[in-house]
Structure 1
Amino acid sequence: MGIFSNIMDKIFHHKPKAAPAPTTPTPAPQAAPTAAAPAPAPQVIDVTASLDDMAANAGQKLDWRHSIVDLMKLVGMESSLSERKELADELGYSGDKNDSAAMNIWLHKQVIKKLSENGGKVPAELMD
């Protein structure tokens, strides 16, 4: 599993600590077999809500909205320069990886963009 896949997995499978457990409704019995129901639409994950909940329980201030380092720390991942360079390779960064500031800005934008492309609900201000 790649670094981006790990980030996405941690965000998309985050369960808020304060949320009540979901209940599963019991399906009503059917009198006769029917045609197969269409597959349910994929669930849209509210990325901001997941990350804000993680941040509220992080025990430290992490600016995930602007920093790839803080975003990676927030989801419990290694945020070292070597990890970020590996993520840059994974996402197709073609700039100078020795210019970590420029790479970090690009990485943050790409991670947010990729989360959106993979079913994440991301506010427009984070997509700029």
Structure 2
Amino acid sequence: MGFFSKILDKLGFDAGASKVDDMLKAPVAPAAPATNVAGAGAETARPRAISEVDVVGQLEAKANANSQKLNWRTSIVDLLKLLDIDSSLNARKELATELGCPANLMADSAQMNMWLHKAVLQKLAANGGNVPKELL
């Protein structure tokens, strides 16, 4: 079981072992550029998974029930802690490698953490998770 599949499992994604590789390869929609030109940056319709996973609802409920004040919206460490998954530097490096983090970011843990947080949320959104745009 890969590291990303642990996250999927904790959030209730229907991701059997055969699906995780496909989920990791799922293209992530690029962020639309901010512009005022009519029609520019309009979102194209993307097919969604049949059953959407309430990522935000689950994480908010876990955060409210947790005695620690964990900020999962900005911190990959807090997000992993909230899901009761190993958040050590080695674990985060394993996840970053699995998700394809650029080598230059792997050398700087702060940069890797920011990239990793965004990548995890983007992958969840690309596979049926209801992640708000402002978090992507």
TM-score by length of 2: 0.70
Alpha-carbon distance in 2 for matches of 1:5, 1:119: 14
Aligned length: 100
What is the match of residue 3 of structure 2? 3
Q: Deviations over 1:5-47 (max 9, x none)?
A: 111210126xxxxxxxxxxxxxxxxxxxxxxxxxxx7210111
What is the match of residue 96 of structure 1? 105
Alpha-carbon distance in 2 for matches of 1:58, 1:10: 15
Residue 91 of structure 2: SS of its match in structure 1?
helix
CA RMSD of aligned residues (A): 1.3
Structure 1 runs (4+) deviating above 2 angstroms are: none
Percent identity (aligned): 54
Mapping for residues 1-128 of structure 1, pairs under 5 Å = 1-12=1-12, 42-94=50-102, 95-127=104-136
Q: Match for 2:73: what amino acid?
A: R
Q: Deviations over 1:98-128 (max 9, x none)?
A: 200000000000000000011101111101x
Alpha-carbon distance in 1 for matches of 2:10, 2:96: 19
- How far off is 1:59 after superposition? 1.3
Structure possessing the higher radius of gyration over alpha carbons: 1
